[in-house]
Amino acid sequence: MTKVTIGDTVRLIVEFYDFDGNLIDPTDIVITIENKQREVLIEIPLDAGSKLINSAGLTQIGKYYYDYTTTEVGLLYYYFQGTINGTTGLRNGSFVVMDIDGTGGCR
């Protein structure tokens, strides 16, 4: 599991695929970040400016990111949700935010 220090910015990355396993750009992409108590810290829509760019400077189909600056200590969950061919696609993950002294991530 990824561990970061409070105040750090963590890049959360997601890839969306269609049912045939091909990368696809969904519509209505939203990222939600919650704390251990499942309280929503952020919930915002993403746009084309959130697409990953490859080494040639081109945007990548189906690949998005969100840079989140941590504001509280503990286990955090994140969810990327988007609509793919009329179906909701959901990708999730988690990370631990530690105090400056390296404690407090999983109280």
Q: Determine the Cα angle at 54 with ends 48 and 59, to 5°.
A: 25
pLDDT greater at residue 33 or residue 107: 33
Can you say how many angstroms the Cα of residue 12 is from the centroid of all Cα atoms in its chain? 4
> Percentage of the chain with pLDDT > 90?
74
Extents of the domains making up the chain: 2-97
Strand partners, 2: 95
Reading phi first (left if > 0) and then psi (alpha if -120 to 50, else beta), residue 50 is in alpha
Q: Flag whether pLDDT at 46 surpasses 50.
A: yes
Contact by Cβ (8 Å): 15, 62: yes
Sign, CA torsion 22/28/32/38: negative
Query: 2-97: which CATH architecture?
Result: Sandwich (2.60)
Q: What's the pLDDT at 103?
A: 60
Candidates 13, 17, 27, 28; CA nearest to 92 is 13
Q: Flag whether pLDDT at 104 surpasses 60.
A: no
Average pLDDT over residues 93-106: 78
Q: What's the pLDDT at 83?
A: 95
Q: Flag whether pLDDT at 43 surpasses 80.
A: yes
